[in-house]
């Protein structure tokens, strides 16, 4: 079965399953490999969760024309958020050690102690734990998430643009 010929529903279901697999790997990396997530890593997970929800809803609903673009737009919104976070994370990891921000409080404490907008500003400013590079297959984790955000975006657009095969009527 050629994945480039899958229906919109099957393609969106595959997108959902890929997002779930990526989130499962993130949990594996955290609990088995001992890679503690920084606040930017957690925000990248939120991007995948957002995408997974709308991939699944789009697969279940299976809308026509404009409805497909609605779900694709929501998937792309999650992907753009993730791309911004992963890009920022990669930038922080590329800083020389003397320019790194100091380590800050964990994300749970920040949400308890500060308003949401201040938490966002603090997270995107970065902290010392965000600069720690723990490679997977020789590349940092934010690089892999950035790659998957781009691939899943292209996948969603391709699924939306694909025309259904004409049905034979007897």
d(CA 164, CA 8): 8
Q: What is the CATH number of the domain that holds 64?
A: 1.20.1550.10
The parent domain of residue 48 ranges over 3-161
d(CA 88, CA 39): 12
In a domain, 66, yes or no: yes
Residue pLDDT, tens place only, 55-103:
999 999 888 878 888 999 999 999 999 999 998 888 887 777 666 555 5
Determine the straight-line distance between the first and last CA of the chain, rounded to whole angstroms: 26
In a domain, 12, yes or no: yes
User: What is residue 125's three-state secondary structure?
Assistant: helix
In a domain, 169, yes or no: no
Q: Would you state the pLDDT for residue 164? A: 53
When pLDDT is cut at 50, 70 and 90, the band that residue 129 belongs to is low
In a domain, 167, yes or no: no
In a domain, 168, yes or no: no
Q: How many domains does the chain have?
A: 1
When pLDDT is cut at 50, 70 and 90, the band that residue 44 belongs to is very high
């Amino acid at each position: 079965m050629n994945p480039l010929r899958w229906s919109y529903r099957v393609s969106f279901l595959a997108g959902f399953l890929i997002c779930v697999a990526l989130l499962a790997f993130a949990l594996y990396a955290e609990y088995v490999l001992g890679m503690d997530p920084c606040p930017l890593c957690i925000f990248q997970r939120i991007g995948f969760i957002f995408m997974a929800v709308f991939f699944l809803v789009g697969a279940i609903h299976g809308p026509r024309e404009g409805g497909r673009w609605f779900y694709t737009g929501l998937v792309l919104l999650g992907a753009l958020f993730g791309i911004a976070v992963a890009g920022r994370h990669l930038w922080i990891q590329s800083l020389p050690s003397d320019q790194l921000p100091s380590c800050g409080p964990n994300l749970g404490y920040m949400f308890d102690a500060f308003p949401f907008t201040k938490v966002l500003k603090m997270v995107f400013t970065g902290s010392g734990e965000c600069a720690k590079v723990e490679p997977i297959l020789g590349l940092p984790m934010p690089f892999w998430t950035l790659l998957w955000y781009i691939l899943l975006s292209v996948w969603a657009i391709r699924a939306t643009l694909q025309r259904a095969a004409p049905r034979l009527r007897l």
